[in-house]
């Protein structure tokens, strides 16, 4: 597997950064989480004057074999239909990328439909969706490694353009199912507590989803425990997201973590490379059952709680103005000396 050399944050500048924050013309600590964000971003970039230059958003699409078991209210056709919709600018992700100036890359890493001739979709298709993990591993070792490499290469393309902040979203019907299983395994949480409505299942649908995923997990633990749960249950878009997160952290680029699925990917990335968490901002706690517990696995404090469960990276994009405010605080606020104001704390 591709190796990532991710270093913990160099904290040698921490005292200087804190001094600058404390001498801005405001009561000490009065900008709360903005001050914490500013510290993190300055440490990531190793500067007193941080930048969010050339923000990029990766929208990764793929299908899941487990969808065949009726664990989602939506059929897999919605994946390719939405991917095409994104190229027309009509998705939630498009709106927020336009609003906040993100460059959007729409990438097919495993959609069960031929999108190769669709303008605006980058073709990195590994296969026509994953296999059904109720019966067998979702992907082979070679496919897993290919997905990691694709994610890392996509991050590299953004970095080469001068990207300082990377946001990642997903489009894949039924991808809350592997996310729930990862959550259960990584957090040692009962599987039923990790399973929610996804795109809108009713109570009988949720019960069916619990039954299917419980059987899949039992089969894995009985016969396939030696296989990484990442490749046994994961989707191509999810593994590619992990590769992108790890490469961005390696390059000291800030990573904005979206909702339930991307939080599962972030938890997996942290399990592979614990230092990668230093480069992540967990942007919101969504409406999917169990998301708060999954954030707790890594002690993450999300910026927003808006009841979102759209995916696509939309929650992370919504949180971007808060992150931008933290950077503007560092670069645009006067300090007490330049404003000729007596310190009042």
Residues assigned a catalytic role: 312
Quickly tell me which residue has 């795109």 as its tokens. 199
Nearest C-alpha neighbor of 47 from the set 10, 11, 13: 13
CB 88 within 8 A of CB 103: no
Q: What are phi and psi of 152, to 5 degrees?
A: -65, -40
CB 249 within 8 A of CB 223: no
Quickly tell me which residue has 């808006």 as its tokens. 306
Cα 34 from chain centroid (whole Å)? 21
CA 266 – CA 262 distance, rounded (Å): 6
**What one-character-per-residue DSSP string does 277-328 give?**
GGGEEE-B--SSTTHHHHHHHTT---SB-------TTHHHHHHHHHHHHHHH
Tokens of 141: 């070792």
Taking CA atoms, 50 is separated from 6, 38, 87, 123, in Å, by 20, 8, 32, 34
| Length of the chain, in residues | 345
């Amino acid at each position: 597997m591709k190796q990532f050399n991710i270093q913990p944050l160099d904290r040698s500048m921490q005292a200087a950064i804190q001094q600058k924050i404390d001498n801005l013309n405001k009561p000490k600590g009065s900008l709360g989480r903005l001050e914490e964000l500013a510290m993190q971003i300055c440490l990531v970039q190793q500067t007193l004057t941080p930048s969010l230059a050339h923000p990029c958003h990766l929208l990764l699409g793929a299908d899941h074999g487990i969808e065949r078991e009726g664990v989602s209210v939506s059929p897999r056709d919605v994946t390719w239909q939405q991917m095409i919709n994104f190229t027309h600018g009509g998705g939630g992700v498009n709106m927020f990328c336009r609003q906040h100036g993100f460059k959007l890359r729409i990438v097919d890493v495993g959609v069960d439909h031929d999108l190769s001739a669709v303008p605006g979709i980058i073709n990195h298709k590994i296969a026509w969706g994953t296999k059904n993990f109720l019966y067998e591993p979702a992907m082979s070792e070679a496919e897993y490694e290919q997905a990691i490499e694709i994610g890392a290469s996509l991050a590299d393309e953004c970095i080469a353009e001068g990207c300082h902040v990377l946001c990642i979203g997903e489009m894949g019907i039924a991808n809350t199912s592997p996310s729930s299983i990862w959550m259960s395994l990584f957090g040692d949480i009962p599987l039923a507590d990790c399973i929610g409505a996804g795109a809108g299942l009713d109570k009988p649908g949720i019960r069916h989803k619990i039954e299917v995923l419980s059987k899949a997990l039992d089969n894995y633990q009985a016969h396939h425990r030696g296989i990484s749960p990442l490749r046994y249950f994961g989707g191509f878009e999810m593994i590619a997201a992990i590769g992108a997160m790890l490469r961005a952290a390696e390059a000291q680029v800030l990573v904005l973590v979206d909702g339930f699925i991307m939080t599962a990917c972030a938890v997996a990335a942290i399990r592979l490379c614990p230092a990668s968490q230093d480069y992540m901002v967990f942007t919101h706690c969504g409406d999917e059952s169990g998301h708060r517990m999954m954030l707790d696995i890594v002690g993450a404090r999300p910026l927003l709680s808006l009841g979102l469960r759209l995916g696509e990276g939309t929650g992370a994009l919504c949180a971007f103005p808060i992150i931008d405010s933290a950077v503007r605080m560092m670069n645009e606020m006067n300090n007490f000396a330049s404003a000729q104001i007596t310190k009042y704390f």
